[in-house]
Structure 1
Amino acid sequence: MDCVFCAIGSGRLPAHLLFEDEHFQVILDIYPLRPAHVLVISREHAPYLSDLSAAARERLLTLTERLSRALRACGYGVGGINLLVNDGPLANQHVPHLHLHLIPRRRGDLPALVWRTLTRFLPFGRQPLQARLEREADLLRNALQRES
């Protein structure tokens, strides 16, 4: 079976693509924990951070900082952004392919975050979510172009 992130990277599966370079693709999470929940996905199939090439590891934090600026410019995560890498299955890594989550936070969002964590893979509410993801993708793509 093929990896879902490899399939996205090769164009065989759709995604809300925000940015790409030789090392990474940046997409919106289709099961977001918070609005504008972004994933930085390695183009290399590297299950663990230690499997990622040195060049990609060096680029990761620079790209993450650029994404953080773009998120904040759009009003997401102004007070804080969780940067999360689940490195291996025991660390709750659902897809064995290196990816970093940027989860914008705001004051008082913990109850909604916990609820979404527990229910994120359930099928209800998908239509309104797709429309929201499209709006967020357009907004963030424009902000990333300004951040280049």
Structure 2
Amino acid sequence: MNCTFCEIVAGRAEASVVYDNDEVMAFMDIRPWTPGHLLVVPKRHATGLSDLDPADGAAVFTAGQRIATTLRHGSLRAHGVNLFLADGIAAGQEVFHVHLHVVPRTNGDGFGLRGMPTSPSRMALEQTAGVIRSSLT
């Protein structure tokens, strides 16, 4: 398996590390959407969310929340922060090791979601909710 993030976590590839503990590592994204954009990854490999140990997921989000708070209230003074996790090719995942993007935002930075939301009926929402509920494990 060729896993770039596994190589970073193991110390065999370069990274500008921001945060590191026993469960996760956070480092600067080499293709940032905005200045300060970084990634939080679990140290144990998981290709996607279905492979991710819930404790590792909690550790990723906890670190992401801590870093986002620092981005908002620390020296960078971001106006806001987006957290983004792509799970699967259709969702835009390009590196197949779970990772949470932490993207600091400033007014007018040009970054944003470009999709157009729809307005389904309440009946359609209830039907979809029922399908999802019946499939939860």
TM-score interval for Structure 1 and Structure 2 normalised by the shorter chain: 0.7 to 0.9
After superposition, where does 1:13-28 map in structure 2 within 5 Å? 13-28=13-28
Q: Does 2:27 match 1:46?
A: no
After superposition, where does 1:30-109 map in structure 2 within 5 Å? 30-72=30-72, 73-77=74-78, 79-109=79-109
SS of the equivalent of 2:108 reads: coil
The amino acid across from 1:95 in the alignment is V
How far off its partner does 1:76 sit? 4.0
Greater relative contact order: 1 or 2 (C-alpha under 8 angstroms, separation 6 or more)?
1
Q: Percent of pairs identical after alignment?
A: 38
- 2:11 corresponds in structure 1 to 11
The amino acid across from 2:76 in the alignment is G
TM-score with structure 1 length normalisation? 0.70
- 2:119 corresponds in structure 1 to none
| Deviation digits for residues 94-129 of structure 1 (CA, Å, limit 9, x no counterpart) | 10100000111111111xx37xxxxxxxxxxxxxxx
8 Å CA contact 2:41, 2:60 repeated in 1: no
How far off its partner does 1:59 sit? 2.0
8 Å CA contact 1:76, 1:105 repeated in 2: no
Name structure 2 gaps, 5 residues minimum.
Answer: 113-137
The amino acid across from 1:98 in the alignment is V
8 Å CA contact 1:6, 1:43 repeated in 2: yes
SS of the equivalent of 1:82 reads: strand
8 Å CA contact 1:16, 1:27 repeated in 2: yes
SS of the equivalent of 1:15 reads: coil
SS of the equivalent of 2:64 reads: helix
8 Å CA contact 1:36, 1:76 repeated in 2: no
Name structure 1 gaps, 5 residues minimum.
Answer: 115-148
Please identify runs of 4+ aligned residues in structure 1 that moved more than 6 A: none
How many aligned residue pairs are there?
A: 111
The amino acid across from 1:88 in the alignment is G
The structure with more radius of gyration? 2
8 Å CA contact 1:41, 1:100 repeated in 2: yes
The amino acid across from 2:109 in the alignment is D
Q: Does 2:7 match 1:2?
A: no
SS of the equivalent of 2:39 reads: strand
CA RMSD in angstroms comes to 1.5
TM-score with structure 2 length normalisation? 0.75
